[in-house]
């Protein structure tokens, strides 16, 4: 949670103002001193951090990712690692913040596939 | 660069970088502003170009540019493989001039790849390409307008009525200052714009 907040360039006070959740409480959640917050609070935090509500529910343990989602995530992560280490493929981005979402990784892998005529996501890296 | 079929790649970007190296080899690396000015001249960038004009201009340098839906945090992306080079820019409407800023940022990263290939990196141990690319984009946008200012001024000077000339200079000065401010503060303007959008999203 802390990494997510910092990647958005937000301070605890800013999150408090936007999500209407006390900054002391957020700090305690980030340090693992509190149980996962109520799904309603997670919904407000998801809007503030601009991530899908479902993603935070999974992290908090309210929902379980199905095996297909886990497999897709792993496939994209592996393919992205392959793309980053291919010396023939040069790439760069202009990002808002420092967080690289799974969606962005998928986009980069798809661009790699387009240029190299390979199909990493189907055939595996 | 040698291609798999044995041909030698004649990438215009590499050619440009080679020319820059030959001009500045003795005092390497050149200032970011100098590099930006030379780049603007090379690409033939004009102020207030439309997206289609930018796409056409880049195609003359064998760079394919497209505007597509991108993930929220991604403003632009560049990649190259063998003889193909692509730049992708977020389609969503943002601050005026942001498209050009992102395009220039992506070009600076492509230029650095070429400089590295030629054995002339422009980055020192403490430099970050992201930061240099932002500086380059800002400098290049400034260079675009400064090369056009004399033409605008001549146009105003030719007005017959004195009041029209004064008004023209006033408008020209105001627009010039606004443009230069947008060059310098583009990343901040983009942040403000995305913050406003996020606040609107949170409220709904």
Give CA angle at B145 (B23, B24), nearest 5°. 10
In a domain? residue B84: yes
| Token pair listed for B27 | 């005092």
In a domain? residue B6: no
ipTM of the complex: 0.80
The reported pTM is 0.79
Q: In what order do the strands lie in the sheet with B74-81?
A: A89-95, B74-81, B84-90, B63-68
In a domain? residue B46: yes
CA separation for the pair A106, B151 (Å, rounded) = 46
Which ranges of chain B have pLDDT less than 70?
1-9, 201-204
User: pLDDT above 70 covers what percent of chain A?
Assistant: 98
pLDDT at B17: 97
In a domain? residue B69: yes
Total count of domains within chain B: 1
In a domain? residue B72: yes
Asked if A89 lies within 8 A of B75 by C-beta distance, the reply is: no
Query: Which residues neighbour B2 within 8 Å (Cβ) at sequence distance 6 or greater?
Result: B8, B9
Asked if A107 lies within 8 A of B81 by C-beta distance, the reply is: no
In a domain? residue B48: yes
How many angstroms separate the CA of residue B174 from the nearest CA in chain A? 30
Answer whether residue A115 shows pLDDT above 90: yes
How many C-beta atoms surround the C-beta of residue B103 within 10 A? 28
How many angstroms separate the CA of residue A20 from the nearest CA in chain B? 11
Whether residue A35 lies within 8 A of chain B, CB to CB, comes out as no
CA separation for the pair B50, B157 (Å, rounded) = 27
Range of the domain at B115: 12-145
In a domain? residue B16: yes
CA separation for the pair B91, B74 (Å, rounded) = 11
Answer whether residue A63 shows pLDDT above 70: yes
pLDDT at B148: 81
Query: How many A×B Cβ pairs under 8 Å?
Result: 86
Whether residue B135 lies within 8 A of chain A, CB to CB, comes out as no
Cis peptide, bond prior to residue B29, ω within 30 of zero: yes
Q: What is the pLDDT of residues A29-38, one digit of tens each?
A: 988 888 889 9
In a domain? residue B160: no
Domain holding B64: CATH number?
1.10.10
């Amino acid at each position: 949670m802390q990494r997510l907040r910092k990647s958005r360039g937000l301070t605890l006070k800013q999150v408090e103002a936007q999500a209407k959740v006390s900054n002391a409480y957020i700090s305690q959640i980030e340090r693992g001193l509190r149980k996962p917050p109520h799904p309603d609070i997670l919904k407000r935090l998801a809007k503030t951090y601009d991530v899908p509500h479902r993603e935070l529910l999974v992290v908090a343990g309210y929902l379980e990712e199905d095996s297909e989602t886990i497999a897709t995530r792993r496939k994209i992560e592996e393919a992205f690692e392959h793309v980053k280490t291919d010396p023939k493929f040069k790439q760069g981005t202009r990002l808002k913040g420092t967080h690289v979402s799974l969606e962005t990784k998928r986009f980069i892998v798809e661009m790699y596939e387009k240029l190299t005529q390979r199909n990493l996501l189907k055939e595996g890296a | 660069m040698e291609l798999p079929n044995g041909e030698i790649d004649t990438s215009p970007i590499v050619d440009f970088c080679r020319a820059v190296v030959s001009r500045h080899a003795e005092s390497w690396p050149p200032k970011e502003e100098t590099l930006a000015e030379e780049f603007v001249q090379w690409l033939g960038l004009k102020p207030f170009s439309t997206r289609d004009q930018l796409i056409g201009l880049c195609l003359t340098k064998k760079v394919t540019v497209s505007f597509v839906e991108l993930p929220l945090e991604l403003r632009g992306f560049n990649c190259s493989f063998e003889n193909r080079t692509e730049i992708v820019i977020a389609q969503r409407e943002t601050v005026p001039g942001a498209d050009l800023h992102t395009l220039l940022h992506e070009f600076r990263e492509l230029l650095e790849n070429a400089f590295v290939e030629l054995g002339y990196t422009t980055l020192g141990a403490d430099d970050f390409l992201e930061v240099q690319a932002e500086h380059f984009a800002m400098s290049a946008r400034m260079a675009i307008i400064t090369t056009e200012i004399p033409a605008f001024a001549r146009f105003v000077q030719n007005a017959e009525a004195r009041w029209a000339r004064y008004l023209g200079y006033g408008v020209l000065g105001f627009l010039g200052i606004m443009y230069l401010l947008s060059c310098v503060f583009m990343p901040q303007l983009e942040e403000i714009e995305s913050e406003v959008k996020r606040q609107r999203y949170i409220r709904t």
